[in-house]
Structure 1
Amino acid sequence: MDFQSFSGRVIRIDDFPGRHNDPLTGCYKLFTVQDRNGSVVNFVIEPETYFVDHALVKVGDRVTGYYDANAPAPLIYPPQYRTIVMAKDRSNQFVKVDFFNNQLISSDGSLKLNLSRDTEMVLENGQAFTLYPANRDLVVIYGATTRSIPAQTTPNKIIVLC
């Protein structure tokens, strides 16, 4: 996947309309997010969307939504993306969603992971992930980084997207 993101404040949450008598009606949401420049994006929230820290998002919260830039999207305004990961902004916590190679460097080359015994590694369902997390799509939750290129960090938690 080619992960891209959009950050802003949630200005509206609606049920995403389903077909008449669809048993999944109400299981999909539409988050309207506006950034500081006034740009707006609609994020389609599905039952499979992973919420970092299982955070409950409400209108007024600052969030970052991650989506696959290669996935088909309707040509409408505002843009509408199927959300893979949603992260509620928290102070002193950063989130990176990307493919990490065999050296644990993100596909954009901006972040290198240094694992420690304290790095929690789990699957989306919360179960332990016990293999080396290289060559996978990861949700990385971390704090401080070095000022090197790429920046390096010892993540607090890694969620493996299977």
Structure 2
Amino acid sequence: MSPINFQAFTGLITHMEDYPFYPTDEETGCHKFITVQNETGMIVNFIAGPNTYFVNHEMVSVGDQITGYLDGDVPVILIYPPQYYALIIVKESPSTHVKVDYFDDDLVSGDGNLKLHVNPDTPILLTNGQAFNQNPAQRNLIVTYTHTSKSIPALTTPEEIIVYCR
């Protein structure tokens, strides 16, 4: 599986509505238009569609802090504020961390900052909630965890691994 060039933007949801630019009734309401502002005032609009994966299937609303992930290799229209199709959205929580990245043969993240120690009890799932029965190495993963070591890369035993298949 080839790595996705995940790019992230974190901020507070300041506005949310049904995506207003669909010409047919069949598509109306199937996409959400989410405006996010970070702590420096930068604004991004995310489009969340039926294929956007919300980690833990969390509902989001105005005032929530989220991180939206997009494919940095996909062309985008040049408008302000920028508008991206969200691949993955994480509702941030102080007790749980989420890492979205490509993990290599040794289960080290693409940025080299996190190494996974997978034990037999670690749930490894697909985005549809079904079990993934293969080796999670060399795949795009969504990893939830609570604790890490202070080493480089940090070591963690994940709470859950979601295999992100295109």
Alignment correspondent of 1:23: 26
Deviation beyond 6 Å, 4+ runs, structure 1: none
2:107 corresponds to: 104
Structure 2: 5+ residue runs without aligned partners? none
Aligned counterpart, 2:14 = 11
Kept in 2: contact 1:124–1:161 (CA 8 A): yes
Q: 1:76-115 maps to which residues of 2 (within 5 A)? A: 76-115=79-118
Residue among 125, 146, 162 paired with 1:159: 162
Give the counterpart letter for 2:36 in structure 1. V
- Report the alpha carbon displacement of residue 116 of structure 1 after superposing the two structures with TM: 0.9
Q: Who is 1:70 aligned against?
A: 73
Superposed CA RMSD: 1.0
The question of 1:131 aligning with 2:134 is answered yes
Deviation at 1:21, TM superposition (A): 2.2
Inter-partner Cα distance in structure 2 for 1:60 and 1:19 = 26
Q: Does 1:54 align with 2:41?
A: no
- Whether the 8 Å contact between 1:118 and 1:156 is mirrored in structure 2 is no
**Counterparts of 1:31 and 1:18, CA distance in 2:** 14
Displacement of 1:16: 1.2
Q: Tell me how far apart the structure 1 counterparts of residues 25 and 113 of structure 2 sit (CA, whole Å).
A: 43
Q: Any gaps of 5 or more consecutive residues in structure 1?
A: none
Q: CA deviation at 1:139?
A: 0.5
Q: Cα deviation per residue 1:57-113 (whole Å; 9 max; x = unaligned)?
A: 010111111111111111111111110110101121001111101110111111111
TM-score (norm 1): 0.96
Q: CA deviation at 1:18?
A: 3.4
Q: Deviations over 1:106-131 (max 9, x none)?
A: 11111111101221110010001111
